[in-house]
Every structure is written in C-alpha cells, then in structure tokens.
Amino acid sequence: MSDASDAPASSEGQRSGTWGAAFLTTFTTVFLAELGDKTQLAALLLSAQSGRPGLVFLGASIALICSSLVGVLLGRWLARVMPPQQLERLAGILMVALGLWLGRQAVLNLAPMPNALPLG
C-alpha cells in the first residue's frame, strides 16, 4: 500500500508550493516593498489634504490591485514564453538596474550642481 508521498507531484505543485506559502510570500514581499515608497507617501498626503481617509484608502487600494493585476498578467505571459531561470535572471537584472537608476537620481538630487551660481 503506497502513501501520498509515493505519488508523483504535479508540475503546478512543484513550481508554486502550497497555496498558503505562495500567499504568505507574496503578501510579505509586497507589503515590505510598499512600506515608505512614493505611493504610500502620496496616500498620506492625499489623506491629510482631503480629510477623507476612507476614500483615499479605497482609491489607493483599487489602484494597487489594478497595478498588481498588470504585473500578474505580464508575469503569467512571460512564464509561458521564457524558461524560469531566464525569467529570474531578467527580474534580477531589472531590479539591479532600477536600484542603480534610483541611486543615481538620489545622488544627483543631493549633490549641488557644480556650475550653479549662487542667487543673490
């Protein structure tokens, strides 16, 4: 008599793990990535200016859902047209490139312009 561990795992199960693990990983990653970003600061300012935090929360939540849907659909399509290792490599390259670009922007905004003359 064989037990469940002898049965071959489906490719879906091997690729994504359990439902709870996928959900928890996604929630934690997105939650931590969104902390302190421009979107959160915009929601903070809009809530303070409008005095209607419930409506700002609803609008920001729907916007995040829509932008996440775009990412999920794009990710699903990319998973069909390229191997997982290539997709992971591409995602890593994009993250590094974005980090370098944002770092460059921060340095340019913090460093004084060398040719700028004082006003006054």
pTM for the full predicted model: 0.57
Helices (H), ranges, the chain: 11-16, 19-34, 38-50, 53-81, 84-110
Q: What is the pLDDT of residue 38?
A: 84
Is 81 within the bounds of a domain?
A: yes
Task: With a cut of 80, say whether residue 68 has pLDDT above it.
Answer: yes
Q: Residue 101 belongs to what domain range?
A: 35-110
CB 60 within 8 A of CB 39: yes
5 part of a folded domain:
no
In a domain, 22, yes or no: no
| Residues 10-26, mean pLDDT to the nearest whole number | 72
The total number of structural domains in the chain stands at: 1
